[in-house]
Structure 1
Amino acid sequence: MTTKTGMTRRGILLGTGAVLAATGLAGRATELWAAEPLKVAGIYTVPVEQQWVSRIHKAAEAAKAEGRVDYTFTENVANTDYPRVMREYAEQGYKLIVGEIFGVEQEAREVAADYPDVAFLLGSSFLQDDALPNLSVFDNYIQDASYLSGIIAGSMAKGNIGMVGGFPIPEVNRLMNAFMAGAKEVNPDISFQVSFIGSWFDPPKAKETAFAMIENGADLLYAERFGVSDAAMEKGILAIGNVIDTQADYPDTVVASAIWHFEPTFEKAVAEVMAGTFTAANYGVYSFMKEGGCSLAPLGTFEGKVPASALELVAAKEAAIKDGSFVVTVDDSEPKSS
């Protein structure tokens, strides 16, 4: 991105940093930038209670409660309206805009190019573009926790697991594939039914899809979407959650969940914007377990009900993931029924 003077924005930032360091004012500059809460806007295509988006919203709200950011948001934004809402927030002086652009990739990047002084942190299926230094991407790379939840599922299922997802895109596929790998770790003969409902938020459709899987022999369900756990509860079988912990709502149904913690991603972006060093990067790495970006939810009501051998394996694999001696494969290919 080049200014009218021919200098790149990144060059300006780096040059300013050098001057500050040379004059000993770097620390003071950070204090000044931190004096006012950072203006942050969230743009979401679904309600903020939807699993995935709720984690972004939760992290931003926590920072707002601490007085570090001035956060507002717009939910249920249609893809056709997304670029317009991006422009409106940019024009209003927001310095960091977060959201998800899976259905509006090209248009969103064009908007970002028009506002080089605004930082954009956007969920995307694609990587960052170094030619667009003010746009960073992220995704919920929580395959580590998904793998561990699969181990628990494999130890609790009788032989067939039903898996209901939104769309067969990388951010869904990698979690399903990791889950399936974990289940096979303890039960190599286990089989899967896999289906996608073509929506990010359609609990009735997800529930009906899950019912069909149960009719077809599924004895445990993987609830990538809302509605699946409702079907499991009504039919008296177990379920594994995804992204958020819903056990409080399904105490006799949801055994475990792979939890996404967006805080490391959000805090990194806020810090970079405040320091004037935000640039194009892949923030997906901050969702990894070793970065604190994901975890396995507490067993809660299922404490003492999961086989000890499975829990021992979970503990060993978790330790290995954190120390780097074991790496869960990131497999973005579409999972298939078996």
Structure 2
Amino acid sequence: MLAGVSRRTLIKAAGAGAALAAAGTLPTRLFAQEKLKVAAIYTVPFEQQWVSRIHQAALKAQERGDIEYTATENVSNTDYERVMREYAEAGNQLIVGEVFGVEDAAREVAADYPDTAFLMGSSFKPDDAHPNFAVFDNYIQDASYLTGIIAGAMSTSKNFGMVGGFPIPEVNRLMHAFMAGVKETAPDAKFQVAFIGSWFDPPKAKETAFAQVEGGADVLYAERFGVSDAAKEKGVLAIGNVIDTQSDYPETVVASALWHFEPTLDKAIAEVKAGTFTAADYGVYSFMKEGGCSIAPLGTFEGKVPAEAMALVAEKEAAIKDGSFTVEINDDEPKSS
């Protein structure tokens, strides 16, 4: 993810053409018997939540023997296009990354390398002009909603602090889902919503969370690193996002919404190997029914969450998976209330 600059303000509307089926596909030469050469480009460190899940999925595919994997972290937006071209020139058949701040430039690179498949995190949809450029996003609203049910049941003050990076779709939809879940068990809930203007600034996130605790919050939604540290120091609870940090904060993190990038990446690998990779929207593979997200084990909080809340979580999870219940996807900026 882009560090230090709001992605939405940098994305050009020209990339917004929505088309799930592309005009063509990559050349039909099959790679089924080969290890696919895959490269990834990240604008933040490997350990950052969002990127860590992509990196982990790629490492697993490499361990299985499906791919040869190389990656570069901390690539600036101004250098992103150069690194993309270098990886394409090096013969990588699939290039993965997140182009929220360099949307137009990334699509131009894809146009220059039509035989290379690009799978990129993006707020926009694929388009006919770039048949080898597919997009993905972390649509883990299902798991976020379920953690909200738990949070609502664990709060005494019914006041919830929420610290995000930027108010862009990838963050907004998860916050809204969490808030909707909270209201299932705490209908009179109040929310303090803040954005720190960075994807990786734990000290700033921590200070923001401190202020929310001072404002009465006894459960914090930790969309960013640093929030759980604040919760631990202040003796309140936290809900994790994207990764499982329960073992790091055993008395603080009650539950976490996990993102599993494996379904997304494995689908792309299979399509490239089959010669059928197209400009598609891979966002659906983050949905719970596709195995793209889940709730982390409660760890030390097992048995401490009210039974009624856990029964509701089980009921809603089953309904999400069988399609009888759909968590709303709301990309609008959430507000304090």
TM-score of the two chains, using structure 1 as the length reference: 0.91
- 2:77 is aligned to 79
Is 1:10 the counterpart of 2:10? The answer is no
Structure 1 position 282, deviation (Å): 0.3
Q: Quote the Cα distance in structure 2 between the aligned partners of 1:86 and 1:11.
A: 20
Task: Report SS of the residue matched to 1:127.
Answer: coil
Structure 1 position 263, deviation (Å): 0.2
- 2:19 is aligned to none
Is 1:96 the counterpart of 2:94? The answer is yes
How many residues were matched structurally? 315
1:170-196 alpha-carbon deviations (Å, 9 max, x no partner): 000000000000001111100000000
1:32-80 alpha-carbon deviations (Å, 9 max, x no partner): x233210000100000100000000000000111111000000000011
- 1:144 is aligned to 142
Assess, with a 3 A threshold, how the Cα gap between structure 1 residues 169 and 11 changes in structure 2: closer, same or farther.
closer
Task: Report SS of the residue matched to 1:80.
Answer: helix
Task: Report SS of the residue matched to 2:217.
Answer: coil
Q: Quote the Cα distance in structure 1 between the aligned partners of 2:26 and 2:193.
A: 50
- 2:170 is aligned to 171
Q: Quote the Cα distance in structure 2 between the aligned partners of 1:219 and 1:300.
A: 20
Q: Quote the Cα distance in structure 1 between the aligned partners of 2:222 and 2:267.
A: 30
Residue 24 of structure 2 aligns to which amino acid in structure 1? R
Higher helix share: 1
Structure 1 position 126, deviation (Å): 0.4
- 1:3 is aligned to none
Task: Report SS of the residue matched to 2:244.
Answer: coil
Q: Quote the Cα distance in structure 1 between the aligned partners of 2:107 and 2:190.
A: 41
Assess, with a 3 A threshold, how the Cα gap between structure 1 residues 246 and 12 changes in structure 2: closer, same or farther.
closer
Structure 1 position 11, deviation (Å): 6.5
Q: Quote the Cα distance in structure 2 between the aligned partners of 1:12 and 1:65.
A: 26
Assess, with a 3 A threshold, how the Cα gap between structure 1 residues 152 and 9 changes in structure 2: closer, same or farther.
closer
Structure 1 position 9, deviation (Å): 8.4
- 2:185 is aligned to 186
1:9–1:116 Cα contact (<8 Å) kept: no
Assess, with a 3 A threshold, how the Cα gap between structure 1 residues 318 and 204 changes in structure 2: closer, same or farther.
same
Please, what is the CA RMSD of the aligned residues?
1.3
| Structure 1: runs of 5+ lacking an equivalent | 1-7, 17-28
Task: Map residues 252-271 of structure 1 onto 2, 5 A cutoff.
Answer: 252-271=251-270
Q: Quote the Cα distance in structure 2 between the aligned partners of 1:187 and 1:253.
A: 20
- 2:10 is aligned to none
Structure 1 position 10, deviation (Å): 2.6
1:143-199 alpha-carbon deviations (Å, 9 max, x no partner): 000000000001011210000000000000000000000001111100000000000
2:24–2:278 Cα contact (<8 Å) kept: yes
Assess, with a 3 A threshold, how the Cα gap between structure 1 residues 46 and 295 changes in structure 2: closer, same or farther.
same
Residue 201 of structure 1 aligns to which amino acid in structure 2? F
Structure 1 position 265, deviation (Å): 0.1
Task: Map residues 46-65 of structure 1 onto 2, 5 A cutoff.
Answer: 46-65=44-63
Q: Quote the Cα distance in structure 1 between the aligned partners of 2:292 and 2:197.
A: 27
Residue 113 of structure 2 aligns to which amino acid in structure 1? Y
- Structure with max Cα Rg: 1
Task: Report SS of the residue matched to 1:35.
Answer: coil
Assess, with a 3 A threshold, how the Cα gap between structure 1 residues 334 and 156 changes in structure 2: closer, same or farther.
same
Structure 1 position 12, deviation (Å): 7.5
